[in-house]
């Protein structure tokens, strides 16, 4: 069940929020190992993580802002998140900034990522035709650095249509994201009868990646071919070049911002091209015109995929066009949102697992907002910041018996 802003507003009253079942989220967070010593432990790990997530849903972008928001949480919200009652103070106890910082920088961030990704994956449904299209891409956290004084890079997988991140791993120092495809996608599962297609940029057009996706996981792939694979590029170019001289198999034209963009797509069987499990080659031509129909630019993208090009297949020209264009949604729906809503690149996080944990909390927050049917991420965080109880309608799996996602 998707919620509009009007429906979310109706959940503002305490009575409505009392009907929000957040047990599933708390159970997921409880799967993460608490590395702290039992001695002197005041606040449970689930409380710290859940409270931090609610603060991030309210727009908190760093440890101090999280602590400030948590300190202002109403009594009823702290109770729902699992805070302990202090009989001496006559109030629920909440974690301090020091506690939040220590927990988030010392937690097993990989374990949290795996648990959160699997949890979001269970709630995200495939497209109407049973296809789950997943984009994979890396992001450098410009304000964070590793212990070896190298840039901190995270590699993530996002569902195209939903814009929900369902897997994320840190790229180890001294290597790159190309080596982390298996580590990333090993946690991504396919539901019964579901087809999973993984889209990626040219850097991931690798034989080992194709072998892993098809032979080991039963997925298929859509890859862009560029100069990093010169022999493959030459073969795809030779196969598709005759097509470009014919009428496109699919064409889309869009007008806006004082220009006209036109995408023309051709597909053909990839006979004779040496690449694992390759069945279809394609070409997408993008042309940009001004309003006087004068062409400003023209560029070609050469595409390969492991799915057949027959009509009705997921890589017929229309679907191939959609998959390639929606792949770059990971930049707009994930990377851009984390930078503009939570100012991720400005967060100076250097210690331990802090950078990855904060990125995971942002992924969960954005994913939950989208799964509730709302796309205005920034506006929703501002709405929650004015009344943190509103977060309960976002993080709940059930409200008065209705499944939110």
Residue 347 domain-assigned (yes or no): no
Q: Find out whether 168 and 113 touch, Cβ atoms under 8 Å.
A: yes
Same-domain check for residues 88 and 123: no
Same-domain check for residues 213 and 80: no
Same-domain check for residues 99 and 166: no
> Can you count the helices (H) and strands (E) in the chain?
17, 14
Question: What local confidence, expressed as pLDDT, does residue 46 receive?
Answer: 96
Residue 348 domain-assigned (yes or no): no
Token reading at 297:
């630019």
Nearest to 392 by CA among 102, 127, 15: 15
Confidence of residue 1 (pLDDT cuts 50, 70, 90): very low
Residue 338 domain-assigned (yes or no): no
Residue 266 domain-assigned (yes or no): yes
Domain containing residue 279: 111-332
Same-domain check for residues 358 and 269: no
Q: Find out whether 188 and 194 touch, Cβ atoms under 8 Å.
A: no
Residue 4 has pLDDT above 70, yes or no: no
Same-domain check for residues 27 and 157: no
Q: Which string of DSSP letters, residue by residue, matches 3-41? A: --HHHHHTT-SHHHHHTEE-HHHHHHHTTS---S-STT-
Token reading at 399:
């409200």
Same-domain check for residues 131 and 236: yes
Question: What local confidence, expressed as pLDDT, does residue 16 receive?
Answer: 53
Residue 342 domain-assigned (yes or no): no
Q: Which tens digit of pLDDT belongs to each residue from 364-377?
A: 999 999 998 888 99
Residue 328 domain-assigned (yes or no): yes
Same-domain check for residues 168 and 259: yes
Percent of the chain with pLDDT over 90: 66
Same-domain check for residues 371 and 299: no
* Number of domains composing the chain: 2
Question: What local confidence, expressed as pLDDT, does residue 247 receive?
Answer: 93
Same-domain check for residues 39 and 178: no
Residue 369 domain-assigned (yes or no): yes
Confidence of residue 228 (pLDDT cuts 50, 70, 90): very high
The dihedral region occupied by 11, where left means phi > 0, alpha psi between -120 and 50, and beta the remainder, is alpha
Q: Which tens digit of pLDDT belongs to each residue from 34-58?
A: 998 888 788 999 999 999 999 999 9
Residue 259 domain-assigned (yes or no): yes
Token reading at 291:
């309003």
């Amino acid at each position: 069940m998707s919620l509009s802003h009007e429906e979310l507003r109706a959940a503002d009253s305490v009575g409505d929020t009392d009907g929000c079942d957040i047990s599933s989220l708390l159970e997921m967070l409880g799967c993460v190992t608490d590395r702290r010593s039992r001695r002197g432990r005041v606040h449970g790990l689930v409380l710290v993580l859940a409270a931090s997530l609610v603060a991030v849903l309210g727009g908190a972008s760093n440890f101090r802002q999280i602590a400030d928001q948590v300190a202002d949480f109403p009594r009823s919200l702290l109770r729902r998140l699992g805070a302990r009652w202090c009989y001496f103070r006559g109030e629920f106890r909440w974690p301090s900034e020091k506690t939040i910082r220590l927990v988030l920088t010392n937690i097993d961030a990989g374990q949290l990522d795996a648990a959160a990704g699997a949890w979001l994956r269970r709630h995200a449904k495939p497209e109407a035709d049973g296809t789950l299209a997943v984009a994979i891409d890396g992001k450098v956290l410009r304000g964070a650095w590793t212990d070896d004084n190298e840039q901190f890079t995270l590699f993530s997988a996002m569902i195209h249509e939903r814009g929900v991140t369902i897997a994320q791993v840190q790229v180890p120092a001294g290597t790159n994201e190309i080596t982390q495809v298996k580590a990333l996608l090993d946690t991504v599962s396919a539901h019964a009868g579901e087809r999973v297609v993984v889209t990626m940029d040219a850097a991931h057009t690798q034989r080992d990646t194709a072998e892993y996706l098809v032979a080991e996981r039963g997925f298929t792939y859509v890859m862009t071919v560029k100069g990093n694979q010169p022999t493959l590029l030459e073969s795809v170019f030779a196969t598709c070049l005759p097509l470009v001289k014919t009428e496109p198999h699919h064409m889309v034209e869009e007008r806006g911002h004082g220009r006209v963009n036109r995408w023309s797509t051709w597909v053909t069987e990839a006979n004779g091209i040496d690449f694992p499990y390759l069945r279809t080659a394609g070409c997408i031509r993008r042309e940009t015109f001004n309003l006087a129909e004068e062409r400003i630019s023209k560029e070609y993208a050469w595409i390969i995929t492991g799915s057949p090009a027959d009509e009705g297949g997921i890589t017929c020209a229309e679907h191939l066009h959609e998959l390639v264009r929606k792949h770059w949604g990971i930049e707009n729906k994930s990377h851009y949102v984390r930078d503009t809503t939570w100012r991720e690149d400005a967060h100076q996080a250097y210690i331990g697992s802090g950078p990855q944990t904060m990125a995971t909390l942002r992924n969960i927050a954005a994913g939950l907002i989208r799964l509730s049917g709302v796309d205005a991420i920034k506006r929703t965080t501002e709405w929650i910041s004015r009344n943190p109880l509103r977060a309960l309608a976002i993080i709940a799996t059930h409200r008065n018996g209705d499944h939110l996602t």
